Amino acid sequence: MTAVTPPRPFARLRLLAIAVALCLMSACTSAVGEQNDRGSTGDPVDGGTLRVAAKTDLIPKSVFGQSSDGGNALIGLVYDSLVEYPHDSLEPRPALATSWKVAPDGRSIHLELRDDVTFHDGKPFTSEDVKFSIQTIADPAWSVQLQRTAAAVTGFDTSDPHAITLKFDRPLSNILDLLDIVPIIDEDTFDQVKAGTGYNGTGAFRFAGWKPNSELTFDRFDDYWGGKPHLDGVDVKIVPDPQAQASGLRSGQYDLLLGTTARDAETFGKDKKYAVLDFEGATQQTYVGFNLDNPDLKDVKLRQAVAYAVDRERILDEVYRGKGIAQNLSWSPSSPAYDEAAAHHYDRDTAKAKDLAAQVGKVPTLPLQYIAGDPTAEAVAQIVQANLADIGITVDLQPVEYAQMYQRLVGADFDGLWIFGHTYAQYTPATLPVSAYPFNAEHNASNFLSDQYAEHADAAWGAPDPDGDVAEDAYAALNADMIDNVWLTDLVTFWPRIVTSSSVHGIDYTKRTELILRDAWKDQ
Amino acid sequence: MMRPKAWVGLGLVGFVVLLGIVGPWLAPYGPIDQIEGANLVGPSSAHWLGTDEVNRDVLSRTLSGIRIDLLVVFLAVPVGAAVGVLVGLVTSWWNVTDVITQRVFDVVLAFPTLIFAIALSAFIGPGVWTIALVIVSLEVPVFGRLVRTSVRSVREMPYVEAAQVTGAGSWWVLRRHVLPNSLEPLTVQLAVSMSVAVFIEAAMSFLGIGVQAPHPSLGSLIKDGTTLMYDAPFLALGPLALVLALVLGLLLISQSLSEAHRD
């Protein structure tokens, strides 16, 4: 007998209502989208100071190490680089270098430099400044993640003040990453940088002052080579509490937030008074790291058990509100190193995790350190703790102040497990295993050393074409190393989200999460 | 006869104590159980106070969190009071020890409570025992000072001089005459200190230097609730109501004791 659905009164009316609702929703969505794209609409207005709330303060001795929101703001505003990647691609565009050419053997690069650039103190920019900047980044004292790449530049031809040739002993597949990342600094005033008292760059804004744990201030640089910026200045207030940042934006105290939680960003995105800017190419990762110097974490089976146990999809959905990718490797799908199977090798499998943990035997309580006072890190840590409890591993959560977390990362000094963020997978793939603190094959935060991994990192680094066959083989080998050895396991790849008031326009971000405000302006 | 406000105070405190004792057995979930798919669910019949950002039942966490506050109220405060009374009794009898002890008390009391708490947690780390230690450390000088006032006035009384003339030792005089005469102001102060202790726990956990995740206390639950105030305003309501009930109840009790003492 065929079941017959009884006719439903008002069915058409209901369909019509749904259609109207969908139209309204799509109109709302477009409105939000317009808010997010507002930078390109309307005529820019000169004047005003942009008030920015940042979560973490400048750490002077790590200012070139992407160590904090305050430090990143300073680098983005005060300094320029030779080339610039847009945040969503690896196609460099001219900045202080107007053109460049890599030698056919890959062992040198020649750059033509702008001849109309001065530092904030009036000194002209020359090729000697490029040499000094790269040599500074190569100095291990500054703990810069690109140090190895900078140190691989072994020769500088500065005979022409407006051109430079950089020479290497071997091809460097990520040389353009270095040129995008290295800020051009001034040798004559470098003592001030060391002391944290002054920063003389060529960027759109001049450093005006720093009150530790309080604020950084910047003034407009009228002689900026790219044209006078619209804003009079920028005040970056240090506001570690995301809730205080959100309240400050709502009350009109701030114009732009550099530390909202994903949930707050989602809430702001529904309100036309605010805009949420997504910088999808400038991806970052949250990961669980393992210090292999801890005897309890030496057995790879235990690390694999953890990798299988964590619920990445839940972390993505509930903590990052779906804005990212849940995967155990760092590469974005657009990266030449991306391998979907490898990226999901450790998709959650509690049975397998339990089995691996059982093979290890009794596991003592493991310390898990995360950033104190960071609601996102705390939520992720608690989910990971619950996931590991499911397979019989007890974890002791230990909140650690941000500056101390950073020190421990650089010094490879975590007690056991830790949750932190990393970056550099958005660059040429060789940059990650050669440069990033958690992945550096020579010295990493996990104290994981492997000749095989170092060899594969080297092969990727020296590949003549980052998209060629040689490089692809090296990337596959690196992915296998990461899967087999699990000295860390990525949880979520996500992109930065900046929340602004709707009166702010023209905001941009570098690929390494530094603010670009040279075209920014505020409604008066 | 007990005053009505004393009954109200006892009722409020008794209610919270009862919840703290039996609540965890009645709670539908464990305080750190994460419930699949229940992310920031609003109050409902399944979750009376909703669920938090990592899918935990807020009612179950609140009932469990009460115990932390009861621990600091009914353990740390009495310990601090006992030590303070003992130190105050003994040292204030003799002038030299009295001067030394009072200056030490001055130093401790000169620190604002939260500055002292932050400094202590920097040394020994955050946690429930840090809260207890802060409260004990702060209550010792408070009770020491209070009992000193009694000692200094009672020791000049004729009956004390008479006892000493008959050969009574200092310890006997302190125990037999001084302490009983100090009890009434001490009981009033005990109730006041208990209400202050609830605030200290809440403030320390709110600042992140008290009870640590994933374990709940009323203070940490309020902190979690304010973090999500715009998305889930219901999260902090339950813990806030309980802190209010506990503080109000203890203050009403202390007021009643004080009034009875004056009468």
Contact (CB, 8 A) for A460 and A441: no
Nearest to A383 among B54, B226, B230 (CB): B54
Give the per-residue pLDDT at B40: 93
* Beta carbon pairs, A and B, within 8 Å: 44
Per-residue model confidence as pLDDT tens digits over A186-199: 999 999 998 889 99
Give the per-residue pLDDT at B181: 80
Per-residue model confidence as pLDDT tens digits over A488-508: 999 999 998 999 999 999 999
DSSP A360-417: H---PPEEEEEETT-HHHHHHHHHHHHHHHHTT--EEEEEE-HHHHHHHHHHT--SSE
Give, as one character, the DSSP assignment of residue A160: S
Q: Are strands A233-238 and A163-168 parallel, antiparallel or unpaired?
A: unpaired
Least confidently predicted of A343-352, A439-448, B91-100:
B91-100
Given CB atoms, is B214 within the 8 Å cutoff of chain A? yes
Contact (CB, 8 A) for A329 and A479: yes
Give the per-residue pLDDT at A28: 38
Cα–Cα distance for residue pair A140/A440, rounded to 1 Å: 14
Cα–Cα distance for residue pair B99/A116, rounded to 1 Å: 75
Single-letter amino acid code for the residue at A373: G
Tokens of B256: 């009643």
Given CB atoms, is B226 within the 8 Å cutoff of chain A? yes
Give the residue from chain A lying closest to B33, CA to CA: A386
| Residues across chain A | 524
Say if A7 falls within a structural domain: no
Contact (CB, 8 A) for B246 and B69: yes
Determine the 3-state secondary structure of B255 from DSSP: helix
Q: Quote the radius of gyration of chain B (alpha carbons, Å).
A: 22
Say if A397 falls within a structural domain: yes
d(CA B226, nearest CA chain A) in Å: 8
Interface test with B, best of A243, A384, A404 (most B CBs within 10 A): A243
Q: Are strands A215-220 and A205-211 parallel, antiparallel or unpaired?
A: antiparallel
Query: Residue A428 is part of a domain; what is its CATH number?
Result: 3.10.105.10
Among the listed residues A331, A354, A269, A356, the one whose alpha carbon sits nearest the alpha carbon of residue A36: A269
Considering chain A, what percentage of its residues have pLDDT values greater than 90? 81
Cα–Cα distance for residue pair A242/A340, rounded to 1 Å: 34
Given CB atoms, is B54 within the 8 Å cutoff of chain A? yes
Give the DSSP H or E segment for A217: strand A215-220
Same domain, A321 and A211: no
Cα–Cα distance for residue pair A146/A440, rounded to 1 Å: 10
Query: What is the CATH number assigned to the segment(s) B59-262?
Result: 1.10.3720.10
Among the listed residues B46, A230, A475, B86, the one whose alpha carbon sits nearest the alpha carbon of residue B78: B86
Considering chain A, what percentage of its residues have pLDDT values greater than 70? 92
Per-residue model confidence as pLDDT tens digits over A426-473: 999 999 999 999 999 999 999 999 999 999 999 999 998 888 999 999
Say if A6 falls within a structural domain: no
Name the region of A227 (left: φ>0; alpha: ψ -120 to 50; beta: rest). left
Among the listed residues B95, B188, B98, the one whose alpha carbon sits nearest the alpha carbon of residue B144: B98
Query: Residue A159 is part of a domain; what is its CATH number?
Result: 3.90.76.10
| Residues across chain B | 263
> What are the residues whose beta carbons fall under 8 Å from the beta carbon of A56, sequence distance 6 or more?
A67, A68, A69, A70, A238, A240, A259, A402, A403
- Cβ within 8 Å, pair A375-B213: no
Cα–Cα distance for residue pair A349/A354, rounded to 1 Å: 9
Q: What is the largest CA-CA distance in chain A?
A: 93
d(CA A243, nearest CA chain B) in Å: 6
Is the Cα torsion angle A181, A183, A184, A185 positive or negative in sign?
negative
Same domain, A164 and A293: no
Query: What distances in angstroms separate CA B13 from CA A133, A394, B2, B187, one per listed residue?
Result: 67, 36, 16, 16
Give the per-residue pLDDT at A75: 96
Given CB atoms, is B228 within the 8 Å cutoff of chain A? yes
Nearest to A386 among B34, B208, B228 (CB): B34
Query: What distances in angstroms separate CA A100 from CA A109, A159, A413, B41, B201, one per listed residue?
Result: 7, 16, 40, 56, 62
What is the mean predicted confidence (pLDDT) over A313-329? 96
Say if A30 falls within a structural domain: no
Same domain, A423 and A444: yes
- The domain limits of chain B are 59-262
Residue with tokens 């400038």: A282
Given CB atoms, is B39 within the 8 Å cutoff of chain A? yes
Residue B47 above 90 pLDDT?
yes
Residue A31 above 50 pLDDT?
no
Cα–Cα distance for residue pair A334/A281, rounded to 1 Å: 9
Please give the backbone phi and psi of residue A239, each rounded to the nearest 5 degrees, phi first: -130, 95
Cα–Cα distance for residue pair A503/A396, rounded to 1 Å: 45
Give the residue from chain B lying closest to A375, CA to CA: B227
- First-residue to last-residue Cα distance in chain A: 72
Among the listed residues B53, B208, B241, B62, the one whose alpha carbon sits nearest the alpha carbon of residue A380: B53
Residue A515 above 70 pLDDT?
yes
Among the listed residues A495, A393, A482, the one whose alpha carbon sits nearest the alpha carbon of residue A446: A482
What is the mean predicted confidence (pLDDT) over B126-150? 92
Partners of A493 in the beta sheet?
A285, A325
Least confidently predicted of A39-53, B38-52, B127-141:
A39-53
Same domain, A483 and A384: yes
Given CB atoms, is A399 within the 8 Å cutoff of chain B? yes
What is the mean predicted confidence (pLDDT) over B86-114? 91
What is the mean predicted confidence (pLDDT) over B95-113? 92
What is the mean predicted confidence (pLDDT) over B8-32? 94
Interface test with A, best of B32, B54, B56 (most A CBs within 10 A): B54
- Cβ within 8 Å, pair A383-B212: no
What is the mean predicted confidence (pLDDT) over B32-60? 95
Q: How many of the other CB atoms lie within 10 Å of CB of B115?
A: 10
Give the per-residue pLDDT at A343: 98
Give the residue from chain A lying closest to B207, CA to CA: A373
Say if A352 falls within a structural domain: yes
Same domain, A161 and A267: no
Determine the 3-state secondary structure of B208 from DSSP: coil
Say if A323 falls within a structural domain: yes
Least confidently predicted of A28-42, A240-254, A352-366:
A28-42
Please list the alpha-helical segments (H only) found in chain B. 4-26, 58-71, 77-93, 95-110, 113-124, 128-154, 158-165, 170-173, 179-206, 218-227, 237-262
Residue with tokens 């060789």: A430
Query: Residue A246 is part of a domain; what is its CATH number?
Result: 3.40.190.10
Contact (CB, 8 A) for A465 and A176: no
Cα–Cα distance for residue pair A225/A206, rounded to 1 Å: 13
**What is the reported pTM?**
0.86
Per-residue model confidence as pLDDT tens digits over A147-167: 999 999 999 999 999 999 999
Say if A24 falls within a structural domain: no
Q: B230 falls in which pLDDT band (50, 70, 90)?
A: confident
Same domain, A134 and A216: no
Single-letter amino acid code for the residue at A473: D
Least confidently predicted of A260-269, A496-505, B22-31, B164-173:
B164-173
The mean pLDDT value of chain A amounts to 91
DSSP A406-463: HHHHHHT--SSEEEEEE--TTS-TTHHHHH-TTT-SSS-TT----HHHHHHHHHHHH-
Given CB atoms, is B231 within the 8 Å cutoff of chain A? yes
- Cβ within 8 Å, pair A397-B214: yes
For residue B96, count CB atoms less than 10 angstroms from its CB and return exposed for 0-12, middle for 13-18, buried for 19 or more.
Answer: exposed
Same domain, A449 and A518: no
Least confidently predicted of A28-32, B73-77, B90-94:
A28-32
Give the per-residue pLDDT at A25: 40
Partners of A100 in the beta sheet?
A111
Cα–Cα distance for residue pair A357/B81, rounded to 1 Å: 49
- Cβ within 8 Å, pair A381-B213: yes
- Cβ within 8 Å, pair A372-B55: no
The mean pLDDT value of chain B amounts to 91
What is the mean predicted confidence (pLDDT) over A516-522? 96
Q: How many of the other CB atoms lie within 10 Å of CB of B75?
A: 14
Give the per-residue pLDDT at A41: 55
> What are the residues whose beta carbons fall under 8 Å from the beta carbon of A407, sequence distance 6 or more?
A413
What is the mean predicted confidence (pLDDT) over A41-55? 91
Peptide bond into B214 cis (omega under 30): yes
- Cβ within 8 Å, pair B34-A397: no
Determine the distance from the C-alpha atom of residue B136 to the mean position of all C-alpha atoms in its chain, rounded to a whole number. Answer: 9
Say if A16 falls within a structural domain: no
Between A40 and A113, where is the model more confident?
A113
Same domain, A345 and A476: yes
Least confidently predicted of A32-41, A475-484, B194-203:
A32-41
Per-residue model confidence as pLDDT tens digits over B168-211: 888 888 888 888 888 888 988 999 999 999 989 988 988 888 88
Between B38 and B183, where is the model more confident?
B38
Nearest to B231 among A263, A319, A399 (CB): A263
Contact (CB, 8 A) for B16 and B246: yes
Same domain, A139 and A213: no
Q: Quote the radius of gyration of chain A (alpha carbons, Å).
A: 24
> What are the residues whose beta carbons fall under 8 Å from the beta carbon of A173, sequence distance 6 or more?
A106, A428, A430, A460, A461, A462, A463, A464, A465, A466, A471
Same domain, A357 and A485: yes
Given CB atoms, is A242 within the 8 Å cutoff of chain B? yes
Give the DSSP H or E segment for A472: helix A469-485
Number of structural domains found in chain A = 3
Same domain, A85 and A132: yes
Give the per-residue pLDDT at A280: 85
Give, as one character, the DSSP assignment of residue A140: G
Between B151 and A320, where is the model more confident?
A320
Nearest to A375 among B214, B227, B229 (CB): B227
Full domain range(s) for residue A302: 284-494
Cα–Cα distance for residue pair B206/B121, rounded to 1 Å: 14
Same domain, A180 and A87: yes
